[in-house]
Structure formats: structure tokens, C-alpha cells
């Protein structure tokens, strides 16, 4: 079997995951994406691009049947997918059909010879486990937003339209409720995050005002979510969302390892904390020691260009 990575994104391209695959095996990356995203797939390093409009497919089991047959023809040795809700449902079924090992919700990937080393939290997030699959095909899902997209243009990428011949679906589409809070945190370019140091729901309301002014997403540490200051959808870290925005403003966050694992890929980190010895300052590009409310009030007074 040839050494090749297949990146499965049938419901929407994860550019960061695709560019990471191109970094792991340059020139040996196959992608499966919606037809409207074939140009973007070529931009981020795919050499062979299979396109199929899967929007009308609501039964992941039916799509897993189709992909299993395709994979037997393509011969890819590594299969990666973003750990979205639908792909978390589809990938175990596909792994079973291919008799392949699957590591879910990875936070890091690297190659060791022909083996894919997959890293993910284990034992209640108390340690990070490095995993190698013993199966002929190695499969993994990766937290969305984990890798920063890096352009690797491939103007000679081969485009192969695929037809959708699947059995009758056992599921039907009844209703769809759109996400009411704007873009998911994994897609936010700027994030304002609060920790236990913010102290209350009222404090988070002030952070939300700043986030709205900046056009940013609002995030929180696990401890702040556990305290009821913010909803779970805002949680960043090992047990929450992984993000890599251009700018991450950490307010009243101490910098626990569990939280850093979810935001360490941020391009620029600004930390605001009253404790000059807070671990977050060791990871921040800019640090402000002082009362967080005073700093945020000053920021809210500033006119944005």
C-alpha cells in the first residue's frame, strides 16, 4: 500500500487539518470535499481532490458504506477527519468496515517513519497519550481549529468528481436549528476569554461587550464554566474547544495546562491578570498586571480604527 494521507471533509473543508496533512506527507495528500471547496483544497496542499455534494446525505452510515468502497480503490494508508459532530459519528463506522484502528479527538499528529503518532488526552485529561495504530490503515479524528491553515498551493491538483450511489437512507431530515451565537469559537479570528479571576456572570457580561466591540468570540476557562459564569459552549481547553485565533485575550486566567492545551496555537496572546506570577504570562506575547475591570473599562473607551 502506498503511503498516502486521505483527509475526509465531506461536509466542509478543515483547511488547517489539510495543510497539516501536507506537512506530514508533502505531495501525497488526497482530499474528499464538497465540490464548492475544490479550489480551497488545492490551495492547502491536496494533490488529488475528490468532490461530492453531501449536503443531501443525512445518514452517516450510508456515507460510510460509500467511503469504504472508495477507500479500497484509493488505497490510502492514513485517514484523517475533523472531529465534528457528524464525522465523530461517521468515522467509527468507517473504521469498522475497514478493520482499522481509530484514535478520536487528537490534539497533535506527527510521523515516525511510516507510522502516524496520534496524541490525545487520557485518564480524565490527567496525561497526554501518544498512540500508534497497529492496523494496515491508520485513522484519526482531530479537534476542529487545532491547526492553523498554511497555504501550500498546488495548481496541478487533480480534480475527480464523484457520483453518489448509496442505498436508501434510514434517516430523514426533520428540522435544523441554526447556531444562535454566531460563528463557532474554532472559527473566530479574535477571542476574549475569561477565567475565575473575572469573578461572576456580571464580569463575563462586561467581557461580552468587549468581544462584541472587537467582533470577537467569547470564551472561558473550565473553572469559570464550572462556577456558572459562562455556558459550556464557551469552554476552551482539553475538555472544551481548541482554538487558534489571530488574537487571544486572556482575562483573569491563571494558565492551567488544561486551558493552555486549547489555545496555545493562538498567533498572539495578551494576558490580563492581577497576579504577576500567574503561569499565563509565561506563554503570553503581551502581559498586563493589574485589575482586569480597570483594564477592560479602558479598552471599552478606546475608539477602534
**Distance in angstroms (rounded) separating the CA atoms of residues 56 and 78:** 27
Residues of the chain falling short of pLDDT 70: 1-2, 55-56, 58, 124-126, 165-169, 171-183, 303-305
Instruction: Look at residue 258 in the predicted model and tell me its pLDDT.
Output: 85
Instruction: Look at residue 166 in the predicted model and tell me its pLDDT.
Output: 63
Asked whether residue 149 falls in the same domain as residue 263, the answer is no
Instruction: Look at residue 182 in the predicted model and tell me its pLDDT.
Output: 58
The residues that bridge with 118 in the sheet, in sequence order, are 109, 131
The enclosing domain of 254 has a CATH number of 3.40.50.1220
3-state secondary structure of 218: strand
Asked whether residue 205 falls in the same domain as residue 119, the answer is no
Q: What is the pLDDT of residues 16-28, one digit of tens each?
A: 999 999 999 999 9
Instruction: Look at residue 265 in the predicted model and tell me its pLDDT.
Output: 83
Instruction: Look at residue 268 in the predicted model and tell me its pLDDT.
Output: 95
Parent domain of 253: 185-301
H/E element, 262: helix 257-263
Domain count, the chain: 2
Q: Flag whether 166 is in a domain.
A: no
Asked whether residue 203 falls in the same domain as residue 82, the answer is no
Q: Flag whether 133 is in a domain.
A: yes
Q: Flag whether 228 is in a domain.
A: yes
Asked whether residue 205 falls in the same domain as residue 157, the answer is no
Whether the Cβ atoms of residue 88 and residue 104 lie closer than 8 Å to each other: yes
Instruction: Look at residue 145 in the predicted model and tell me its pLDDT.
Output: 81
Instruction: Look at residue 2 in the predicted model and tell me its pLDDT.
Output: 63
Instruction: Look at residue 257 in the predicted model and tell me its pLDDT.
Output: 86
Asked whether residue 191 falls in the same domain as residue 233, the answer is yes
- Taken as a whole, the chain contains a residue count of 305
Q: What's the angle, vertex CA 12, arms to CA 10 and CA 14, rounded to 5?
A: 105
3-state secondary structure of 171: coil
Q: Flag whether 223 is in a domain.
A: yes
Asked whether residue 208 falls in the same domain as residue 89, the answer is no
Asked whether residue 11 falls in the same domain as residue 137, the answer is yes
Amino acid at each position: 500500500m502506498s503511503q498516502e494521507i486521505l483527509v475526509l471533509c465531506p461536509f466542509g473543508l478543515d483547511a488547517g487539518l489539510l495543510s497539516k496533512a501536507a506537512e506530514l506527507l508533502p505531495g501525497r495528500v488526497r482530499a474528499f470535499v464538497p465540490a464548492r471547496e475544490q479550489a480551497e483544497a488545492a490551495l492547502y496542499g491536496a494533490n488529488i481532490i475528490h468532490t461530492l455534494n453531501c449536503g443531501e446525505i443525512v445518514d452517516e452510515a450510508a456515507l460510510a458504506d460509500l467511503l469504504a468502497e472508495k477507500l479500497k480503490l484509493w488505497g490510502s494508508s492514513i485517514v484523517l477527519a475533523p472531529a465534528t459532530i457528524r464525522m465523530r459519528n461517521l468515522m467509527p463506522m468507517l473504521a469498522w468496515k475497514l478493520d482499522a484502528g481509530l484514535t478520536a479527538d487528537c490534539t497533535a499528529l506527527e510521523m515516525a517513519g511510516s507510522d502516524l503518532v496520534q496524541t490525545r488526552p487520557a485518564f480524565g485529561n490527567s496525561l497526554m497519550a501518544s498512540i500508534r495504530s497497529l492496523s494496515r490503515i491508520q485513522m484519526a479524528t482531530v479537534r476542529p481549529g487545532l491547526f492553523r491553515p498554511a497555504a501550500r498551493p498546488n495548481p496541478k491538483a487533480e480534480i475527480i468528481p464523484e457520483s453518489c450511489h448509496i442505498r436508501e437512507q434510514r434517516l430523514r431530515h426533520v428540522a435544523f436549528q441554526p447556531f444562535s451565537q454566531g460563528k463557532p469559537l474554532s472559527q473566530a479570528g479574535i477571542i476574549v476569554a475569561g477565567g475565575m479571576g473575572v469573578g461572576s456572570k456580571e464580569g463575563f457580561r462586561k467581557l461580552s461587550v468587549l468581544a462584541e466591540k472587537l467582533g470577537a468570540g467569547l470564551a472561558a476557562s473550565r473553572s469559570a464554566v464550572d462556577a456558572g459564569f459562562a455556558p459550556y459552549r464557551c469552554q476552551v481547553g482539553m475538555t472544551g474547544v481548541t482554538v487558534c485565533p489571530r488574537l487571544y485575550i486572556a482575562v483573569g486566567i491563571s494558565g492551567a495546562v488544561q486551558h493552555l492545551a486549547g489555545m496555545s496555537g493562538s498567533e498572539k496572546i495578551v494576558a490580563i491578570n492581577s497576579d504577576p506570577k500567574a503561569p499565563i504570562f509565561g506563554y503570553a506575547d503581551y502581559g498586563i498586571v493589574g485589575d482586569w475591570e480597570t483594564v477592560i473599562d479602558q479598552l471599552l473607551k478606546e475608539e477602534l480604527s
